[in-house]
Amino acid sequence: MTTAEHSPTAAGSGASATESFRAGRRDHVAADVPPERVSAVVGAVLAGVHDAIREHEVSYAEFQAAKQWLIDVGEGGEWPLFLDVFVEHVVEDVAARSQQGTKGSILGPYYLPDQRKLPAVADLPARPDEQGTPLVFTGQVRDTSGNPIAGAELDLWHADSEGYYSGFAPGIPEGNLRGVIVADNQGRFQIHTIKPSPYQIPTDGPTGKLITAAGWHPWRPAHLHLLVRAPGHRTITTQLYFEGGEWLDSDVAEATKPELVLDLRPHGDGALRADYDFVLEPA
């Protein structure tokens, strides 16, 4: 198979992300929002659009181009990609106002539930010829009083050495570089995987075309995604980045935080090691 056949298209990744959102748990979707709140929030969003049109004297031709672009985003299934890159970080900022312990970050569009459960010391599922620098990721999960949380779960997923996610890009086995690690009775874990590469928003779809049209760049720094959870504790949705990583200071999704950057140490044979301790607050 050629590289081109492996390359995920925007349409492929976008459609998969939309399908995954539809299939996902819907109990986190707000229902029965009172009319006063709908009016206040949607009214503010529309007022922002109106202000931008007045301030920049948007023409009819530009308005129609925007309408076409919105139609294309929907038809390409790219709303999860677009919203998670350009909007989710602010929703996360608001949620973070009431959160103690480890800092959170955006979930993004590529989470898949029900991955393989793995013991505290484990290899993340990978292809026999998985490319990339080997990474040993160790640490401990504790509560806000400093007590280890036995059996805490780390639901971990990340891109491969080309920046592609299993379940969304073609040609990658199901469950690759995904797993739920169960920490030991001291809350400790040691995960063997590879260091992912930076992620690029697919450039061939409407989101990519907008980025090009605006002269922005489409990159996110390399990152690990994690949900860290334990009974009786508030689940943390976060991402960890790598010190010195490209795009760390200009993440298109604005989802980095200084507290979420891993220090890397050599681990022999060209491998790297990173340690990180998670702190969960009571639910």
Q: Residue numbers of the site for ligand DHB (CB under 6 A)? A: 81, 84-85, 106, 108-110, 199, 201, 220, 253
CB of 110 to Fe ion, least distance (A): 6
Alpha carbons 205 and 201: distance in angstroms, whole number:
9
Which of ligand DHB, Fe ion, none binds 201 (CB below 5-8 Å, type-dependent)?
Answer: ligand DHB
Tokens of 214: 């605006």
Alpha carbons 38 and 21: distance in angstroms, whole number:
22
Tokens of 97: 């106002």
- For ligand DHB, the closer CB: 81 or 183: 81
Of these, 108, 198, 218, 245, which contacts Fe ion (CB under 5 A)?
A: 108
CB of 211 to Fe ion, least distance (A): 16
184 to 213, contacts with Fe ion by CB under 5 A?
none
CB of 82 to ligand DHB, least distance (A): 7
148-179 residues labelled b (16+ CB within 10 A) or e (exposed): bbeebbbbbbbbbebbbbbbbbeebeebbbbb
Cα-Cα-Cα-Cα torsion 141, 263, 89, 108, nearest 10 degrees, comes to -70
CB of 108 to Fe ion, least distance (A): 4
Alpha carbons 231 and 116: distance in angstroms, whole number:
19
- For ligand DHB, the closer CB: 84 or 153: 84
Stretch of 63-71, 100-108, 125-133, 139-147 contacting Fe ion, by CB under 5 A: 100-108
Alpha carbons 178 and 196: distance in angstroms, whole number:
12
- For Fe ion, the closer CB: 105 or 140: 105
Which residues would be at the binding site for Fe ion (CB under 5 A)?
A: 108
